[in-house]
């Protein structure tokens, strides 16, 4: 492993390896989740992030542990990228007592307050105003924390997007609005519901910079997010960062995604962000094939351990359904 070799992108080798590891962690975690779901071990539904890993990782690798993120129904990737631990995440997906939310949240509501994950909210667009509030709080408390607000192309057509980007811009809040444009809101193609080419074009209407990047290129996302995070941290205000990406699976576990043309799917599959970064790392001799394989094996072992932990954990006691409605018992 040659961590000191600068890549052609000018980014340190160790950073690129870290991007690779985190993306692979998300991929292997979700593949395991897919497997467990298929065996009826995960209740409810699933919105997999597979294919979009470069976006969450490229953004979150720029964040500190005390920075915040808001996440969505498709949130596993955001949480792992922001250093959520795999064991309580997996346990939460299985509805176990040892889960992050004691089994009350599930796949669509993972949170880890200790690393700034303010929680995944599953009403499309609902996390955007919450990110504005977190940004306002950072500004009022005079910290230099930053908020990364993840949402999809679908959410960009919700009223909360407009209200929130406007408010963040007028108050110069330290927020990076990360629009994961995966081209489809459920089965609705973005071009059918949006008359512009890129969501980031909307930024000009709010008086903030708008940047569109290839969301399947971890290096491109990392570099664009780095600029936006630095700008936010310096008090210069928010940025709208659009990452164009694609989900490998359907909207949810039960969606075969037949509304997507086969050629389009094939084209995007060729642009798998993990394959691309692995190729770059090996071509530039930052990692050997063997080393990349070892990383993969280690991550698979970690994911298996997390699954073992979750499967071996107890379900919550029934009375726990009645707890945590209010902070203090009335």
Partner 1 sequence: MKELTYVQALNEALREEMQRDERVFLIGEDIGPYWEGAFKVTKGLANEFGVERVIDTPISESCIVGAAVGAAMTGMRPVAEIMFGDLLALAMDQIINQAAKIHYMFGGQLKVPLVVRAPFGIGRSMAAHHSQSLEALFMHIPGLKIAVPSTAYDAKGLLKTAIRDDDPVMFFEHKICYPTKSLIPEEEYLIRFGEADVKREGDDLTLVATSWMVHKALKVADQLADNGIDIEIIDPRTLVPLDKETILQSVKKTGRLLIVEEDCKTCGVGAEISAIVAEEAIDYLESPIIRIAEPDTPIPFSPILENYVIPNEEAIIKGVEKILS
Of 131-139, 180-188, 223-231, 306-314, the segment contacting partner 1 by CB under 8 A is: 131-139
Length of the chain equals: 330
DSSP state letter for 119 = E
168 three-state secondary structure: helix
Angular region, 22: left φ>0, alpha ψ -120 to 50, beta rest: alpha
CB of 59 to partner 1, least distance (A): 18
Question: Applying CB under 8 A, does 121 fall inside the site for partner 1?
Answer: yes
Nearer to partner 1, 174 or 215 (CB): 174
CA 183 to chain centre: 16
CB of 89 to partner 1, least distance (A): 12
**216 φ/ψ angles, rounded to the nearest 5 degrees:** -100, 10
Instruction: Give the Cα separation of 297 and 312 in Å (integer).
Output: 22
Question: Applying CB under 8 A, does 105 fall inside the site for partner 1?
Answer: yes
Question: Applying CB under 8 A, does 129 fall inside the site for partner 1?
Answer: yes
Bridge partner residues of 70 (DSSP):
149
Question: Applying CB under 8 A, does 82 fall inside the site for partner 1?
Answer: no
Question: Applying CB under 8 A, does 101 fall inside the site for partner 1?
Answer: yes
Question: Applying CB under 8 A, does 204 fall inside the site for partner 1?
Answer: no
Give the interface size with partner 1 as a residue count (CB under 8 A). Answer: 45
The residue from 54, 115, 167, 229 that contacts partner 1 (CB under 8 A) is: 167
Question: Applying CB under 8 A, does 238 fall inside the site for partner 1?
Answer: no
The residue from 18, 104, 226, 249 that contacts partner 1 (CB under 8 A) is: 104
Edge to edge, what strands does the sheet with 239-244 contain? 117-120, 68-71, 147-152, 175-181, 239-244, 210-214
Bridge partner residues of 148 (DSSP):
69, 176
325 three-state secondary structure: coil
Q: Which sign does the torsion angle of CA 293, 294, 296, 297 carry?
A: positive
Instruction: Give the Cα separation of 149 and 59 in Å (integer).
Output: 10
Question: Applying CB under 8 A, does 132 fall inside the site for partner 1?
Answer: yes
Question: Applying CB under 8 A, does 62 fall inside the site for partner 1?
Answer: no
The residue from 53, 67, 112, 242 that contacts partner 1 (CB under 8 A) is: 112
Nearer to partner 1, 216 or 239 (CB): 239
The residues binding partner 1 (CB under 8 A) are 68, 70, 99-105, 109, 111-113, 118-119, 121, 123, 126, 128-138, 140-141, 159-160, 163-164, 166-167, 170, 323-328, 330
């Amino acid at each position: 492993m040659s961590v000191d070799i600068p890549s052609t992108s000018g980014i340190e080798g160790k950073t690129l390896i870290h991007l690779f590891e985190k993306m692979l962690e998300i991929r292997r975690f979700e593949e395991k989740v897919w497997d467990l779901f298929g065996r009826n071990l995960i209740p409810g539904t699933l919105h997999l992030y597979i294919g979009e890993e470069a976006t969450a990782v490229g953004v979150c690798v720029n964040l500190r542990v005390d920075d915040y993120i808001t996440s969505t129904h498709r949130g596993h990737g955001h949480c792992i990228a922001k250093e959520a631990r795999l064991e309580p995440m997996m346990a939460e997906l299985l509805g176990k007592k040892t889960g992050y939310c004691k089994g009350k949240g599930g796949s669509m509501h993972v949170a880890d307050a200790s690393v700034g994950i303010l929680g995944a909210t599953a009403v499309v667009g609902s996390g955007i105003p919450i990110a504005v509030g977190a940004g306002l709080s950072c500004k009022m408390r005079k910290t230099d924390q930053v908020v990364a607000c993840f949402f999809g192309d679908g959410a960009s057509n919700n009223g909360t997007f407009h209200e929130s980007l406007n408010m963040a811009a007028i108050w110069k809040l330290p927020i990076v609005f990360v629009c994961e444009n995966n081209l489809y809101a459920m089965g609705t193609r973005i071009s059918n519901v949006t008359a512009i080419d890129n969501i980031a074009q909307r930024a000009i209407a709010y008086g903030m910079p708008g940047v569109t990047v290839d969301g399947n290129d971890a290096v491109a996302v990392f570099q664009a997010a780095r600029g936006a995070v630095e700008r936010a941290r310096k008090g210069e205000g928010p940025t709208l960062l659009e990452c164009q990406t694609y989900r490998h699976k359907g909207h949810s576990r039960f969606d075969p995604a037949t509304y997507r043309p086969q050629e389009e799917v094939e084209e995007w599959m060729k642009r798998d962000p993990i394959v691309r970064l692995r190729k770059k790392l090996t071509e530039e001799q930052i990692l050997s094939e063997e080393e990349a394989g070892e990383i993969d094996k280690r991550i698979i072992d970690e994911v298996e351990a997390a699954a073992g932990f979750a499967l071996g954990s107890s379900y919550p006691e029934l009375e726990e359904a009645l707890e945590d409605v209010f902070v203090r018992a009335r």
